[in-house]
Structure 1
Amino acid sequence: MLSQAIGAVLPAALAVALSPFPLIAIVLILSGAQGRRNGLLFATGWIFGLTVSATLVSLLFGGADDPDSTSSAIADWGRVLAGGALIGLGARK
C-alpha cells in the first residue's frame, strides 16, 4: 500500500525537486564568492528540507485511506482549508 502511494507521488516529487528555481539559485550561488562551500550548504539544506517535508507528510497522512483514522480527518480538513483559501484568493483577484 505504501509503495503504491510512493509510486503515485514520485513523479510530482521529482518535478518539484528538479524545478528551475533551485537550479537557478545553485548557479547564482556557485558563481558568487565561496561558491563551492555555499553550493554544498545549499544542496544539503535542500535535501534536508525535502526529507523533513516527506517525513511530516507520511506521518500526518500515513493512514489517510482508512476512513476511520485521524489522518483521514486531517486530510479532509486540509482539503477544506485549501479550498477556502483558493476561494478567498479568487474573490480577492
Structure 2
Amino acid sequence: MLSRVGAGQDDIVGDPWMFWHPVEPRLFLVCALAAEGCVLCELDATAQCRRASAKSRLSPAAAALSPDGSRLVVFGRAAAVAVYLTDSLRC
C-alpha cells in the first residue's frame, strides 16, 4: 500500500503527496498539488532526497499502483503519467 503524507521537499511548491514504493523503501514519488509536477526520488545514505528524474507538469488527483507493482500511475485533471518503479529510477 502506498502512503500519502504532507511533508515535501524544498524544491517542490504546494502541498505535495509522497507515494512510497511498496517494496523498496528508498524510492518515493513526490507530487505537488500546485501543478509543480512529479519527482521520483531515492533516499541516499544520509536520508536526503536527491532529485532523480522530473516528470512533466501534472496536478495529481489520485494515484494507483499497477497489479505487478512495477509502476505507479498518477492521474491528473487531463492526463495520466506512469512512473516505472525500477532500480534505475526510470520514468
TM-score (norm 2): 0.24
- Larger gyration radius, structure 1 or structure 2: 1
